[in-house]
Amino acid sequence: MKSVLATILAFLLFGCAEQVEEAYATYADAERAGAVERGWVPAFVPSSAHDLNETHDLDTSAQTLRFNIPPSDVARMVAGLRLVSTREGDAAATLNERHGLGLASEVYVVCSEPRNGALAVDRESGRAVFDTTINWLDDACR
């Protein structure tokens, strides 16, 4: 009886997790899985992206997407995005540090529906992180 109760308790505590994690070797894999269509892989991510790791919360729609692209595609990906100003520099440095990117990585504001985000990208390696859990984003997108 105790094991049945423990199983039910574990299910109730962990079975209803609202956090979803997905990994895709290529952009095409993400597309086939429907992640692009559902918006979990944003439109600015180029089709050359690979090693995509996406985490989102079903309740809040908060999201973090880590991926790599060829360094030659970085300029095209960030075209039209606003580079974070020096006023927001500390927040950008914190974002880079949180995701293990170098301090030289650039951070861009992505204002879009359904969620605003920050895109941190290392131009030399092509490593990138899109994060919607940044507090100052809504002000930056007004």
Considering only CA atoms, which of 115, 43, 114, 50 is closest in space to residue 80? 43
Instruction: In whole angstroms, give the CA distance from residue 67 to residue 12.
Output: 33
- DSSP-derived 3-state class of residue 111: coil
The CA-to-CA distance between both ends of the chain, in Å, stands at 57
The overall average pLDDT reported for the chain is 84
Q: What does the pLDDT read at residue 47?
A: 98
For the residues 13-35, what does the mean pLDDT come to?
A: 86
**Which range, 54-58, 65-69, 137-141, has the best average confidence (pLDDT)?**
65-69
The DSSP letter of residue 84 is P
What is the reported pTM? 0.82
Can you give the residue range of the structural domain that contains 27? 18-140
* Per-residue pLDDT, 6: 44
Say how many domains are in the chain.
Answer: 1
Confidence band (pLDDT; 50, 70, 90) for 86? low
Contact predicate 110/117, CB 8 Å: yes
- Residue, of 95 and 64, whose pLDDT is higher: 64
pLDDT at residue number 16: 55
Q: What is the mean pLDDT of residues 12-19?
A: 59
9 in a structural domain: no
Which value, to the nearest 10 degrees, does the dihedral of the CA atoms of residues 44, 48, 53, 58 take?
40
pLDDT at position 127 is 95
Looking at residue 79, what DSSP letter applies?
T
Percent of the chain topping pLDDT 90:
50
Q: Residue 8 domain-assigned?
A: no
Q: What angle do CA 139, 37, 50 make, to 5 degrees?
A: 85
**Residue 12 placed within a domain:** no
For residue 3, tell me if it sits in a domain.
no
pLDDT interval class at 25 (50, 70, 90): very high
